[in-house]
Amino acid sequence: MTAAARLPRPGASGASGFSSHSGTSGPRVVAGTFRAEVLKLLTLPALYLTAAITWAVAPLLAVASVSAAAGEGNGPGPGTDPGLAPVGYAQAGFVVLGVLAAASEYRGGQIRTTLTCVPRRVEVQLAKAAALAVTALPVAVATAGSGVLAARAALAAHAPPYGAAGPVDAPGEVRAVAGAAAYLVLTALLSSAVATLTRGTIPAVTVLLGHHFVVGPYLAGRTALTAYLPGTAGLWPGGGTGAGEVLGAGGRWAVVTGWTVAALGVAIVSFRRRDA
Amino acid sequence: MITIDQVSKRRGSKQILTEVGFEARPGRVTGFLGPNGAGKSSTLRILLGLDRPDGGVALVAGRPFARLRRPLTTVGAVLDGGGAHRSRTGRGHLRWIAASNGLPRARVDEVLDLVGLTEAAGRRVGGYSLGMGRRLALAAALLGDPPVLVLDEPVNGLDPEGIRRLRVLLRDRAAAGGTVLLSSHLIGELAETVDDVVVIDRGRVVALGTLAEVTGAHRGLEDAFFALTSGTGPGTGHGGRP
Amino acid sequence: MRALRAELLKLSGIPSAWVAVVVGLVVPFAVAALNAGARSAGRAAGGSDPTGVDAGFQELAFGVIGVVVLGVAAASSEYFAEGGDSAGGRQITASLTAVPSRVRFLAAKAGALVLAAAALAVLSTAATLTVSRVVPGEFAAPLTSADAPRVLGVVAYWVLTALLAHGLTLLTRGGVVPLVVLILNTSVVSVTYLLTRVTPLANYLPDLAGARMFVRTFRSSVEIPPLAGGVVMAAWTLALFGVAAAVFLRRDA
C-alpha cells in the first residue's frame, strides 16, 4: 500500500479541505465538554473495578462492624454506629473513585490532550465534577442501599436494644439510603478535588484515608473540633465531649458540603493558575 | 496562521524563553529547530495555552488559543508524550476527544484509518509501541480536520514508512492551504519537509526565514544549524547569523 | 552496596516518600499531644487505657501509616510515573538495566526501605513518647528501662509493616490497593479486629500480633507475649515478601 492512498484528498470536504468552523452555540459546546468527561470515566477499567469491589465488600464490613458492636454489648461506638455503618467502609471506595477519576488525567500526559481540546479550564473542572457526580451517583445508591439493608439485617439478628429495629419504616429507610448516597457522592467529589491539587494518587489517597479512617476517628470524642472536619468522625456519638452534638444534622451537612465546595474551589483556582 | 510575538517565560530563576517571535504562514510547512532544551516545547506549550507566558502573546488564526470555542476544528496538536491514558483503548481515547468538540463519531474511524491504526483501535494504549502512540496522537490532531497543525517532535519513534507518510501528509495539508508548524531536532528530516525555518537556541530565536535563506552559504541546513546554535558540531567557526 | 545507595537515592527522590515522612512524624506526634493535653486536663484518656501505660505507644500504632506510604511509594514508583513531564514513565526498565540481577535489585530495595523506615520510626518514637510524657507532667506514667524493649518493638513493627506494604505493592503493581487495605486496617476499628469477633485465630494476623510488641492493653481473649507477637509478624512479612519476590523474579518487567 502506498502512503498516498490513505491521505485525505485536498478539497474533498469543501473548498479549503478543512472543516468550516461554523458558529456553535455556547450550551452545545459545554454539553460536549461534559460528554467527553463522562466518556473518559466510562472507559477507565479501574473505576469499574473500584465500584464493583466497593459495592460488594462495604456491606459485608458493615454487617461485621454492627455485629461486633452489638455482640460486645457496650453499644455502638466509633465506627460501629448502625446508622453510619453503611457509609463507614464504603467511603474508602468513593475516596478511591474520586482520586482515580482526577489523577488519571496526569497519566500519560492526558491533561495536555484535554486542554488542547477544551482550553477553558474552569469549564473543564466543572464538567469533571458534574461527570463524576453523575457516574458516582448510581454506585452510591446501590452501595448505600445494600449497606442499609445489611446493617438492618445484622441488627435484627441481635437482642434488643439492637434487635429492636421495629417494623420496616419505608420513608425512614429511603431517607437513610438517600442521605448515605449523597454523602458518598460528596466524598468522591472532595477526593477528586484533593487529587487535582496533588496530581497523584498516592499522596491524595494517603491524606484522605488517613484523615477519614485514622486521624478523624481517633480524635473524635477527644476534641469537638472533629465536628467541623469532613468525614464521618464528627457524626459519631461516642466520646466524652459529644462532638456529634455540637452540630445538628443540618449543620453536619453544611460542614461536609462546605468542605467539598471549598476543596473544589481551591482545586479550580490552582488548576487555572498552574502550567499544565 | 500562527503568530508568536515577544514571548518570554521564566521557570524558577531560569529564563526559558526570551522575546521569542516568529510566524507560521498558511500554505507552508514551518520547521522549528533547536537543540534539546532550547525552548521548542515551551514555546509550543505556550502557543497551546498549556503554559502561561510572562510576557508577549501567541495567536492562532489571530486569537489566543484559549479563546477558541472548538479548538480541534482550528488547531490539531501532537505533543511530546502521547497524551493518552494507558488503560484506555485507542478508540476510547479518540471518542472522548471527538465528544469534547462535538465532532461526529464517524470521524474517529476515519482518522484511525488515516494513520493506519484501525486494527489496533480496540487495544489498550499501554500496549502500543512508541510509534503507535505517536500515530494515535496524530489521529487525535486530525480529528477536527483543522487548518492549523502543531507537532512537537512528530517523527520520534516512527518507522521509515511512518516518517514518509507523515511527510507526505504534512506537505499535502500545506498544499491545501493549511498551516503546519513542526519542531524537531532531526535536521536532515526537517530539511526534506519544510519551507520555512525558525532556529531557536537557549530561549532566543537565532535565525528565521525560508529554508534557502537560513541555509545561506552553508553546505546544508545541518551546517547552518551548528553554526547558529551553541556550536558543538562540525560547523563551528564558519558562517554567521543572517 | 552501590545498589543500596542507588535505591536510597531513588527513594529520596520520590515526592510521596516525603509525604510518608511527614505523615509518620506528624500524625502520632500531634495525636499524642492532643491526648496528652486531654489527660492533663483531667479527662478520661479514652476507655481502653486509663492508666496511661500505653500513652504514646497507642499513637505510634497509628503512625505506622507513614511507613505504609513509604513502602508503597518505593515499589509503585517503579511501575508508574505521574505528573507533568514523565519522560519514560516506567522506571522499572531502567532499574533492571542498571542492576540486571533481580535478586540483588530486590535486596537493595528492601535494604533501603528498612533503613529509611527504621530511621523514621526512631525519630517518630522519640518525638511521640517525649510529648506524651512531658505534656501531662505528673499524670504521665514515667518511662523506665522496662520500656526499652517496647521502643524496639515499635521500630520492628514499623520496619515490618513497611516491608509488608512493599511486598503487597510489588504483587499488585499499583499503589492504591495496598494503601486502602493497610490504611483501613490501621483504623480505630480495623478489619482484622472485626475478624477477631469471628475467629480468635485472627489475633495472629500480622498487625494484631505485631502490635503486641509494644501495646500492653488489648481488648482480646487471646494472650500473645510480645516476643511471640513479633515472631508471628516477622513470619507473615517473610512469607508475603517471599511470594512477592518469587512473582517479581518470574514476570516480565
As for the ipTM of the complex, it is: 0.86
| Distance from the A50 Cα atom to the nearest Cα atom in chain C, whole angstroms | 10
Q: Is there a contact between C31 and A217 if contact means CB atoms under 8 Å apart?
A: no
Tally of structural domains, chain A: 1
| Distance from the A31 Cα atom to the nearest Cα atom in chain C, whole angstroms | 27
Would an 8 Å CB–CB cutoff place A106 in contact with chain B? Answer: no
Q: Is there a contact between B168 and A28 if contact means CB atoms under 8 Å apart?
A: no
Residue B175 vs residues B114, B151, B191, C243: alpha-carbon distances, Å: 18, 17, 17, 61
> Per-residue pLDDT for C79 more than 70?
no
Lowest mean pLDDT among A25-34, A191-200, C15-24, C212-221: C212-221
Alpha-carbon distance A245 to A249, whole Å?
A: 9
> Per-residue pLDDT for A15 more than 50?
no
List, in order, residues 6 or more apart from C245 with CB less than 8 Å away.
C103, C106, C167, C170
Domain with CATH 3.40.50.300 in chain B: 1-74+149-242
Alpha-carbon distance C172 to C157, whole Å?
A: 22
pLDDT at A77: 44
Position A51 in a domain: yes
- Residue with the three cell numbers 473505576: A47
- Residue with the three cell numbers 529547530: B33
Alpha-carbon distance B109 to B187, whole Å?
A: 33
Candidate from A78, A96, A214 with C-beta closest to C65 = A214
Predicted structure pTM score: 0.85
pLDDT at A178: 86
- pLDDT tens string A48-64: 999 999 998 888 887 87
Position A4 in a domain: no
Nearest CA in chain C to A199: C83
Position A179 in a domain: yes
- Residues in A closer than 8 angstroms to C72, CB to CB, are 202
List, in order, residues 6 or more apart from A110 with CB less than 8 Å away.
A104, B83, B84, B85
C207 compared with C49, residue with greater pLDDT: C207
For the CA atoms of B152, B156, B162, B168, what is the dihedral angle to 10 degrees?
40
Sorting pLDDT into bands at 50, 70 and 90, what band is A25?
low
Q: Is there a contact between B85 and A28 if contact means CB atoms under 8 Å apart?
A: no
Would an 8 Å CB–CB cutoff place C188 in contact with chain A? Answer: yes
Sorting pLDDT into bands at 50, 70 and 90, what band is C117?
very high
List, in order, residues 6 or more apart from C119 with CB less than 8 Å away.
none
- Residue with the three cell numbers 544549524: B225
Candidate from A19, A33, A116 with C-beta closest to B73 = A19
Would an 8 Å CB–CB cutoff place A44 in contact with chain C? Answer: no
pLDDT at A53: 92
**Which chains have 3 or more CB–CB distances shorter than 8 Å to chain A?**
B, C
Average pLDDT, chain A: 78
User: For B22-36, b where at least 16 C-beta lie within 10 A, e where not — what string?
Assistant: bbbebebbbbbbbbe
- pLDDT tens string B56-108: 999 999 999 999 989 999 999 998 777 898 889 999 999 999 999 999 999 99
Where would I find the H helices in C135-222?
148-172, 176-184, 191-198, 206-211
pLDDT at A236: 44
pLDDT at A196: 96
List, in order, residues 6 or more apart from A90 with CB less than 8 Å away.
A54, A58, A62, A143, A144, A147, A180, A184
Q: Is there a contact between B100 and A32 if contact means CB atoms under 8 Å apart?
A: yes
pLDDT at A219: 76
Sorting pLDDT into bands at 50, 70 and 90, what band is A81?
low
Task: Classify C140 in phi/psi space as left (phi over 0), alpha (psi -120 to 50) or beta.
Answer: beta
- Residue with the three cell numbers 535478586: C103
Would an 8 Å CB–CB cutoff place A117 in contact with chain C? Answer: no
Consecutive H or E run containing B33: strand B29-33
Position A50 in a domain: yes
Cβ-Cβ pairs closer than 8 A, A with B, add up to 149
Consecutive H or E run containing A142: helix A121-156
pLDDT at A7: 38
pLDDT at A237: 38
> Per-residue pLDDT for C107 more than 50?
yes
Alpha-carbon distance A137 to A186, whole Å?
A: 10
* pLDDT under 50: residue ranges of chain B: 233-242
Nearest CA in chain A to B96: A36
Grid cell locating C30: 500531634
Would an 8 Å CB–CB cutoff place A206 in contact with chain C? Answer: yes
Cβ-Cβ pairs closer than 8 A, B with C, add up to 3
Q: Is there a contact between B50 and A107 if contact means CB atoms under 8 Å apart?
A: no
Position A42 in a domain: yes
> Per-residue pLDDT for C143 more than 60?
yes
Lowest mean pLDDT among A175-184, C20-29, C40-49, C167-176: C40-49
B52 CB neighbour count, 10 Å cutoff: 14
Average pLDDT rounded to a whole number, residues C196-210: 85
Evaluate the CA torsion angle A96, C63, C81, A110 in order and state its sign. positive
- pLDDT tens string A168-187: 567 777 887 888 899 899 99
Lowest mean pLDDT among A79-88, A150-159, A259-268: A79-88
Q: Is there a contact between B178 and A116 if contact means CB atoms under 8 Å apart?
A: no
Residue ranges making up the domain that contains A263: 29-273
Alpha-carbon distance B42 to B53, whole Å?
A: 9
Q: Is there a contact between A108 and B84 if contact means CB atoms under 8 Å apart?
A: yes
- Alpha carbons within 13 A on the beta-carbon side of A77: 18
pLDDT at B230: 66
pLDDT at A60: 83
Q: Which superfamily does CATH assign the domain made up of B1-74+149-242 to? A: P-loop containing nucleotide triphosphate hydrolases (3.40.50.300)
Position A17 in a domain: no
